[in-house]
Structure 1
């Protein structure tokens, strides 16, 4: 059975199933493994949790539809009315007929010209909408590529998960670090950071044998998975509260959360 499970996990079918990229037969195979083996069901739950972590995103407002643009153009179209003055004296019938023909011709020409202008405006709106849609599609494709990249990093067996929990100075602080020493990548998921005064910031530090290395400022508003510099041979990571004026120095008692990297790597 262990060999069968090993072969299944190595096939990558479970990852494809999570991302909805399996065929009908592959989907039945995966679902059968999930129902039959607790190990597969547990791994399925873990992959779902990882996908949920990296899928944090704000809703993208849909672009204005072409129909709305055309309707707006129609509502704004006010065709002027030509006012005819009442004749004060009699006019020969052929003069009246000629005038009517001229007015009809002028009115028809004006309406045709106005229709052409309206069509040009509508065509321009359509072109702009198409460019907007193409831009949105490209942006969405980039977001999907980034999502896939982060998902693969989280699912890498070499990726270790570390949870920062705040001390008495920041009890509600919770942040998760994902570190892969093989690929030399680091990511931070800011779950919650207590509000600070405007003159203070949260900063991430790597503790080396002989010094502290600043890895940047943690922004409480950026509640999404974000990359941070990987520091080889770091013994620990810590989150500190520092004044805005101290971006490259840290006090001995400023740490509000720490994780030990050395112990976990040695286990």
Structure 2
């Protein structure tokens, strides 16, 4: 019986159930286990508390002023449409004298359509960004709370002794994250950059900001026997890692 409970807890069904992404059949299974087994119920309650705390810590804020900008653009469109209607009525009479004026109204209509397209594209982009951020938060929650996750302490070498980080790797969910806790100061013309060697290819993960958020997790590409590096590079980053300037590596 304990093996059955352990196998269930090793899955991500509880996390998926909390996030509302389980199927109907999976939901029934989770609810049955919660009702039948105190260990599962206790884990569920703990995950629920962690999720609430995690969601508050990483709440996604709407970009400042976005709502007002969208409302202003919508009002401008509505005003523009009313203006176009008035122009259209006038054009019906004016066309008898000035046939060329129709080109002006055509341009007005085209401009309105272009503005509408721009607003719609911005909204779609925002929605895609929000979905991506929500997926990232979900993955972070799974990594931090799943019992299969392994934790690795990362320390800098003699070139960056004060560098401290923690890597989280979940081979079951195939997720990897790193939390950079401390970065030694560098000259203004240098920066720290992160890399990952995945399937024999070096992937650029970008420059690590000097002002770091100690609660933020950075996603790492997951692969069997992957290796990640932190190097010192010229300001702005490099296209390839400077091997002699490796200050930390993470094997997972």
Q: Compute the TM-score of the two structures, normalised by the length of structure 1.
A: 0.49
Matches within 5 A, 1:1-40: 2=2, 5-6=5-6, 8-9=8-9, 12-21=12-21, 40=43
Do structure 1's residue 160 and structure 2's residue 153 form an aligned pair? no
- 1:49/1:204 CA distance change after superposition, 3 Å: farther
Q: Residues of 1 paired with 2:107 and 2:161: CA distance?
A: 65
Among 100, 119, 125, the alignment partner of 1:129 is 119
Do structure 1's residue 44 and structure 2's residue 44 form an aligned pair? no
- 1:231/1:45 CA distance change after superposition, 3 Å: same
Deviation at 1:177, TM superposition (A): 1.0
Do structure 1's residue 225 and structure 2's residue 218 form an aligned pair? yes
Q: Residues of 2 paired with 1:165 and 1:57: CA distance?
A: 31
- 1:154/1:170 CA distance change after superposition, 3 Å: same
Q: Residues of 2 paired with 1:158 and 1:205: CA distance?
A: 24
| 8 Å contact from structure 1 (residues 239, 258) kept in 2 | yes
Aligned residues: CA RMSD = 5.8
Q: Compute the TM-score of the two structures, normalised by the length of structure 2.
A: 0.50
Deviation at 1:130, TM superposition (A): 2.1
- 1:151/1:15 CA distance change after superposition, 3 Å: same
Unaligned runs of 5+ in 1: 79-104, 207-212
> In the alignment, which residue of structure 2 is the partner of 1:247?
242
Q: Residues of 2 paired with 1:115 and 1:178: CA distance?
A: 60
Query: Which structure has the larger Rg over C-alpha atoms?
Result: 1
Do structure 1's residue 68 and structure 2's residue 72 form an aligned pair? yes
Deviation at 1:45, TM superposition (A): 6.7
Aligned residue-pair number: 218
Unaligned runs of 5+ in 2: 84-88, 95-100, 197-201
User: Residues 15-64 of structure 1, C-alpha deviation per residue, up to 9 Å, x if partnerless?
Assistant: 12331336797886687689876851586279639966x95867545363
User: Residues 87-136 of structure 1, C-alpha deviation per residue, up to 9 Å, x if partnerless?
Assistant: xxxxxxxxxxxxxxxxxx989846x9788876654444223322332333
| 8 Å contact from structure 1 (residues 189, 226) kept in 2 | no
Deviation at 1:188, TM superposition (A): 2.2
| 8 Å contact from structure 1 (residues 176, 189) kept in 2 | yes
Deviation at 1:161, TM superposition (A): 0.9
